[in-house]
């Protein structure tokens, strides 16, 4: 009976689906364990072999944990709102919901073939109204909250109103907009409803604000910082410009410090934590206020080096700074205007590409040094970024290289305030190893002391204070797109109003086209039925808008990260229609124990999800403030492209070894045509594409050998390998084993289909081990010692491997075990039965099949992982006495697979042992089979 993997796999996949084998219960005697994958965006291209890598790893771990007696939650779903479906809709008119549905069906089919132990009864789709009802609800919760810096948590907005009516806003220490004016309790009660709403909006955790945004004209939308790569849009690579728009924003900056602190409590990869730390960008320093001479205006700057304040010889404002137009003198106006205009025109990309050119213009205005009262010239320069700090710097050329270069370039003074330091060539940025000089009260002080003293003196003057600045900006939450969550928001007299949970979800309206309108409004501006009747509480036709009872609805939609910021919690109670999830469910599952996914989400999804989790924690919705205890980034699987060499100007192809004799062009060809020896059959190439029909060949040793290149798996390189094909040809178990066998989970590694025969042969050998010819061959024979040694060594190794997530080495361990047991002619059930449980997480289908042949009625997933019994590994005790010439000379720890005989043989065989042992007791003996390597001590 041969190993018929296609039949076996189809049989068990149907069995698992039918019996609901992997359905998790929300209560159990067993301890819980939650294993999660980052849910996929269902793209039209389907899965390639790189996509399931992380899913296979998490599936192995989930199945392992079930064997270890845990109640395992292992769900899957789809991040199904997004740009590609919308782009496709714009081009074809096809509704994105239809495209998305088709893509999901295709994904599901592909996923099912690999034999994952997902609990599909909990499936979520972010584009499903049943799901985005709760996305809208969380948005409303954010709207109804503010951040209290005294208690370090988000609180209900009604508590804030209470505070305002009792004591105004002067004592409230909230994270809020900067343009807050103070008011008393009396003022508050005198405010109109609209005025109150306007004030509260400045405090809410999600708020409307005129913000300068990254506008991408080609995509017709706003992009978040993490959606921009090298100054162009991540998707499409289109240029991005700065533009002011009224947008919803999320006050994530309120959580900057807690997002940093939380990193210490979670087991995530260090590089990922580092990039979040950099992204949040905490820096300690001081804010300093400079008065502008002959103006009412002041310039606030942030500096990390208040100790160098006496080294200030000029100030620089970002060209976009609001004071520029106010303070520029008439003489300088023309030059300044020209410069401002020039920088605005320059795209972000140009500005980044050229960081070396120094440019700037003097405004003609002067600020006053807070201590010396000397005039400080005010310049503008594009090396100062409007988006960081206050968009203005106090320039200390002797201590900062950029200020130094600027000063040199424009011939500005470079006063030296460092003791015994030469600054004739470059700035001195080293904080330590010097003392401050020429600085009045700071003279002779070292960095730390000087910082403290300078802040103290600034505070005395009322012109500065210690400050912690974060690079993290509030996150823009509006997108001018169709295929996203609609906001549950309508506008009365220009003020946003939330729609009550009772009437959610507010579903996406139908539109004729998915493009922005001619007047530049988002696609929802095309909807005819998109107004809110506040009496009937339903969406009605725009024609009915009367601004008394029927109002316009928000036209923007939410960004891609909205749904992915809490979906992991929704899985816990995915069908709940009353609540986002029940408190019972969330208190039982609490958080994700193991989260596996790509590192590209470091500063996007993973930061936003942590932010929402902390918010929901503050509001008592979730019991823990970090959503994932442990996270692993799986490495990308790369493609191994195949290259043929065409003699330039001809249609003749030469084998790789001959290419240097000619002037050749390289052409990528479909990797699936190439065999394990890099050989390509000329016939296959001729049949592949019409351009090769008449191809001629020059072979080496009768073969056409292709060149290889490792690069990202992509259609354009013809190096995409599809998992369905692999499953058909070798089976899902082979695919699963091979993906693990390729190398360490976290590492990037190239795919090469040829190598899969190794693991495939292993499965065939495994099958044979349980069979005797055509008969099932497992017996009740008593296992011999060697059998047990092999089994227990394998248990120990595999368990260690899984706990350490080194899945690649356990595949080798299985191969060794099966080879050994085959050589030992083992057919003992006592060995072969537990061995199946070990292999089952990796190759579940074959394990189920053999398990049922052993007479089990239940799925192997209910079996418990075998215990490792040390006694079969070593003869007696760990400290084993070694006798020599009839006398016990020393005891030693035995290597795992060595017995007493091995050691004694080694000792006897070692010529020098007698001399070495004469008169001393060795501390340690290094022994390998048949040989003593060294005696120490």
**CA dist., res. 125 & res. 105, Å (int):** 12
Q: Tell me how far, at minimum, the Cβ of 179 lies from RNA, in Å.
A: 20
Q: Tell me how far, at minimum, the Cβ of 314 lies from RNA, in Å.
A: 12
Per DSSP, which regions of 7-152 are E strands?
A: 32-37, 71-73, 145-148
Q: Is the dihedral of CA 517, 522, 525, 526 positive or negative?
A: positive
Nearest residue (CB) to RNA, 400 versus 591: 400
Q: Tell me how far, at minimum, the Cβ of 216 lies from RNA, in Å.
A: 17
Q: Between the CA atoms of 789, 795, 796 and 797, what dihedral angle is there, to the nearest 10 degrees?
A: 100
Q: Tell me how far, at minimum, the Cβ of 666 lies from RNA, in Å.
A: 18
DSSP string over 263-283: GGGSB--HHHHHHHHHHH-EE
Q: Tell me how far, at minimum, the Cβ of 789 lies from RNA, in Å.
A: 15
Q: Are 875 and 898 in contact (CB under 8 A)?
A: no
Nearest residue (CB) to RNA, 124 versus 386: 386
**Among all chains, which residue has been given the structure tokens 């991408």?**
216
* Beta-bridge partner residues of 772: 775
Q: Tell me how far, at minimum, the Cβ of 389 lies from RNA, in Å.
A: 4
- 397 to 416: interface string for RNA, x by CB under 7 A: ---x-x--------------
Residue of the chain from 319, 389, 509, 834 that contacts RNA (CB under 7 A): 389
CB atoms within 10 A of CB 387: 12
Which one of the spans 171-179, 366-374, 646-654, 810-818 is the region binding RNA (CB under 7 A)?
Answer: 810-818
Which one of the spans 10-18, 155-163, 378-386, 482-490 is the region binding RNA (CB under 7 A)?
Answer: 378-386
Question: What's 515's DSSP letter?
Answer: S
If one asks whether residue 529 binds RNA (CB under 7 A), the answer comes out as: no
Within residues 243-302, the interface with RNA by CB under 7 A covers 270-271, 274-275, 278, 281, 283, 285, 302
If one asks whether residue 933 binds RNA (CB under 7 A), the answer comes out as: yes
Residue of the chain from 754, 830, 854, 905 that contacts RNA (CB under 7 A): 754
If one asks whether residue 68 binds RNA (CB under 7 A), the answer comes out as: no
**CA dist., res. 141 & res. 202, Å (int):** 16
Within residues 206-225, the interface with RNA by CB under 7 A covers 225
How many residues bind RNA (CB under 7 A)? The answer is 75
Q: Tell me which residue of 282, 285, 286, 284 sits closest to 459, measured CA to CA.
A: 286
Within residues 338-377, the interface with RNA by CB under 7 A covers 351-352, 354-355
If one asks whether residue 598 binds RNA (CB under 7 A), the answer comes out as: no
Cβ neighbours of residue 582 closer than 8 Å, sequence gap 6 or more? 573, 576
Nearest residue (CB) to RNA, 529 versus 933: 933
Which one of the spans 75-83, 237-245, 651-659, 753-761 is the region binding RNA (CB under 7 A)?
Answer: 753-761
Q: What is the CA 231 to chain-centroid distance, rounded?
A: 21
Q: Tell me how far, at minimum, the Cβ of 390 lies from RNA, in Å.
A: 7
**CA dist., res. 248 & res. 109, Å (int):** 38
Helix, coil or strand: residue 368: strand
If one asks whether residue 382 binds RNA (CB under 7 A), the answer comes out as: yes
Q: Tell me how far, at minimum, the Cβ of 677 lies from RNA, in Å.
A: 3
Strand order in the sheet with 538-540: 538-540, 531-533, 550-552
Nearest residue (CB) to RNA, 765 versus 856: 765
If one asks whether residue 303 binds RNA (CB under 7 A), the answer comes out as: yes
**CA dist., res. 742 & res. 736, Å (int):** 10
If one asks whether residue 772 binds RNA (CB under 7 A), the answer comes out as: no
If one asks whether residue 314 binds RNA (CB under 7 A), the answer comes out as: no
Question: What's 925's DSSP letter?
Answer: E
Cβ neighbours of residue 10 closer than 8 Å, sequence gap 6 or more? none
Nearest residue (CB) to RNA, 253 versus 603: 603
Nearest residue (CB) to RNA, 206 versus 343: 343
Residue of the chain from 762, 767, 842, 872 that contacts RNA (CB under 7 A): 762
How far from 131 is each of 20, 172, 513, 615, CA to CA, in Å?
23, 36, 25, 19
- 818 to 837: interface string for RNA, x by CB under 7 A: -x------------------
Q: Tell me how far, at minimum, the Cβ of 109 lies from RNA, in Å.
A: 28
Residue of the chain from 127, 221, 752, 827 that contacts RNA (CB under 7 A): 752
If one asks whether residue 764 binds RNA (CB under 7 A), the answer comes out as: yes
Helix, coil or strand: residue 779: strand
Q: Tell me how far, at minimum, the Cβ of 557 lies from RNA, in Å.
A: 25
Q: Tell me how far, at minimum, the Cβ of 280 lies from RNA, in Å.
A: 10
Residue of the chain from 17, 193, 229, 461 that contacts RNA (CB under 7 A): 229
DSSP string over 873-916: TSSS-SEEEEEETTEEEEEEEPPTT--HHHHHHHHHH-TTHHHH
Q: Are 745 and 599 in contact (CB under 8 A)?
A: no
Q: Tell me how far, at minimum, the Cβ of 40 lies from RNA, in Å.
A: 19
**CA dist., res. 534 & res. 545, Å (int):** 11
Q: Are 866 and 795 in contact (CB under 8 A)?
A: yes
Which one of the spans 57-65, 170-178, 814-822, 903-911 is the region binding RNA (CB under 7 A)?
Answer: 814-822
- 457 to 486: interface string for RNA, x by CB under 7 A: ------------x-x---------------
Within residues 86-115, the interface with RNA by CB under 7 A covers none
Q: Tell me how far, at minimum, the Cβ of 351 lies from RNA, in Å.
A: 5
Give CA angle at 929 (928, 930), nearest 5°: 110
If one asks whether residue 773 binds RNA (CB under 7 A), the answer comes out as: no
**Among all chains, which residue has been given the structure tokens 């072969």?**
832
Q: Are 207 and 199 in contact (CB under 8 A)?
A: no
């Amino acid at each position: 009976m041969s190993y018929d993997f296609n039949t076996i796999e189809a049989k068990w996949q149907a069995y698992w689906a039918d019996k609901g084998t992997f359905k998790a219960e929300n209560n159990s005697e067993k301890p819980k364990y939650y294993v999660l994958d980052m849910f996929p965006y269902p793209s039209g291209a389907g899965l390639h072999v790189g996509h399931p890598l992380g899913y296979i790893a998490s599936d192995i771990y989930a199945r392992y944990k079930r064997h270890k007696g845990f109640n395992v939650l292992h769900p899957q779903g789809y991040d199904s709102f997004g740009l590609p479906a919308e782009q496709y809709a714009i081009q074809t008119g096809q509704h994105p919901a239809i495209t998305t549905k088709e893509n999901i069906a295709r994904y599901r089919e592909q996923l099912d073939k690999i034999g994952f132990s997902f609990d599909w009864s909990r499936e979520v789709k972010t584009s499903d109204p049943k799901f985005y009802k709760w996305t809208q609800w969380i948005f409303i919760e954010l709207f109804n909250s503010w951040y209290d810096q005294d208690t370090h948590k988000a609180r209900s907005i009604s508590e804030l109103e209470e505070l305002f009516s009792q004591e105004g806003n002067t004592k409230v220490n909230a994270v809020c907009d900067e343009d807050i004016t103070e008011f008393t309790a009396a003022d508050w009660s005198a405010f109109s409803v609209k005025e109150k709403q306007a004030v509260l909006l400045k405090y809410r955790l999600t708020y409307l604000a005129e913000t300068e945004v990254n506008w991408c004209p080609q995509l017709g939308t706003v992009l978040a910082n993490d959606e921009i790569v090298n100054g162009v849009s991540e998707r499409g690579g289109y240029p991005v410009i700065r533009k002011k728009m009224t947008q919803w924003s999320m006050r994530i900056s309120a959580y900057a410090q807690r997002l940093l602190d939380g990193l210490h409590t979670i087991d995530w990869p260090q590089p990922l934590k580092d990039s979040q730390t950099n992204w949040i960008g905490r820096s300690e320093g001081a804010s300093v206020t400079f008065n502008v001479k002959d103006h009412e205006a002041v310039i606030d700057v942030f500096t990390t080096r208040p100790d160098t304040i006496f080294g200030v010889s000029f100030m620089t404002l970002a060209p976009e700074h609001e004071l520029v137009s106010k303070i520029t003198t008439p003489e300088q106006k023309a030059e300044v205007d020209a410069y401002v205009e020039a920088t605005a025109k320059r795209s972000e990309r140009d500005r980044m590409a050229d960081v070396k050119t120094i440019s700037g213009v003097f405004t003609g205005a002067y600020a006053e040094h807070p201590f010396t009262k000397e005039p400080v010239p005010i310049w503008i320069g594009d090396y100062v970024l409007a988006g960081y700090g206050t968009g203005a710097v106090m320039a200390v050329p002797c201590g900062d290289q950029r200020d130094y270069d600027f000063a040199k370039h424009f011939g500005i003074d470079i006063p030296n305030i460092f003791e015994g330091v030469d600054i004739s060539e470059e700035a001195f940025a080293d904080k330590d190893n010097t003392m401050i000089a020429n600085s009045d009260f700071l003279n002779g002080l070292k960095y730390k002391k000087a910082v403290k003293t300078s802040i103290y003196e600034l505070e005395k003057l009322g012109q500065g204070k210690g400050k912690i600045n974060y690079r993290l900006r509030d996150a823009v939450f509006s997108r001018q797109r169709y295929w996203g969550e609609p906001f549950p928001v309508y506008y009365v007299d220009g003020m946003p109003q939330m729609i009550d949970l009772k009437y959610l979800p507010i579903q996406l309206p139908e539109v004729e086209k998915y493009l922005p309108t001619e007047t530049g409004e988002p696609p929802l501006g095309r909807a005819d039925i998109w107004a809110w009747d506040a009496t009937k509480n339903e969406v009605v036709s725009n024609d009915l808008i009367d601004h008394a009872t029927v109002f316009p609805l928000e036209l923007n939609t939410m960004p891609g990260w909205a749904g992915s910021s809490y979906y992991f919690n929704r899985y816990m109670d995915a069908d709940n229609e009353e609540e986002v999830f029940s408190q019972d469910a969330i208190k039982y599952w609490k958080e994700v124990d193991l989260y596996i996914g790509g590192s590209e989400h470091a500063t996007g999804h993973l930061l936003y999800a942590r932010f929402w989790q902390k918010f929901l924690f503050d509001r008592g919705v979730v019991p823990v403030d970090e959503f994932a205890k442990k996270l692993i980034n799986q490495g990308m699987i790369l493609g191994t492209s195949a290259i043929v060499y065409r003699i330039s100007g001809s249609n003749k192809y030469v084998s790789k070894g001959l290419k240097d004799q000619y002037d050749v062009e390289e052409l990528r060809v479909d990797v699936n045509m190439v065999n394990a020896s890099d050989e390509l059959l000329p016939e296959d190439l001729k049949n592949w594409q019409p351009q090769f029909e008449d191809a001629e060949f020059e072979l080496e040793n009768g073969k056409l050998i292709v060149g290889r290149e490792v690069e990202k798996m992509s259609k354009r390189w013809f190096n995409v390998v599809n998992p369905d094909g692999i499953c058909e040809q070798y089976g899902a178990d082979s695919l699963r084993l091979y993906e693990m066998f390729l190398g360490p989970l976290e590492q990037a590694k190239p795919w090469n289909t040829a190598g899969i025969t190794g693991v495939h042969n292993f499965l065939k050998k495994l099958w044979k081990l349980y069979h005797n010819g055509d008969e099932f061959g497992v017996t009740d024979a008593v296992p011999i010692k060697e059998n047990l040694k092999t089994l227990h060594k394998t248990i120990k190794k595999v368990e260690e491997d899984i706990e350490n997530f080194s899945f690649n080495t356990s595949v080798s361990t299985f191969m060794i075990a099966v080879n050994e047991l085959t050589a030992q002619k083992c057919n003992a059930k006592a060995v072969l039965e537990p061995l199946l449980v070990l292999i089952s997480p990796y190759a579940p289908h074959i394990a189920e099949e053999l398990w049922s042949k052993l007479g089990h009625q239940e799925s192997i997933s209910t079996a418990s992982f075998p215990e490792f019994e040390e006694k079969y590994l070593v003869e007696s005790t760990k400290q084993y006495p070694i006798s020599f010439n009839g006398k016990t000379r020393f005891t030693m720890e035995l290597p795992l697979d060595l017995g007493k005989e091995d050691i004694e043989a080694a000792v006897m065989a070692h010529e020098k042992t007698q001399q070495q042992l004469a008169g001393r007791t060795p501390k340690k003996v290094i022994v390998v089979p048949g040989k003593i390597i060294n005696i120490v001590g």
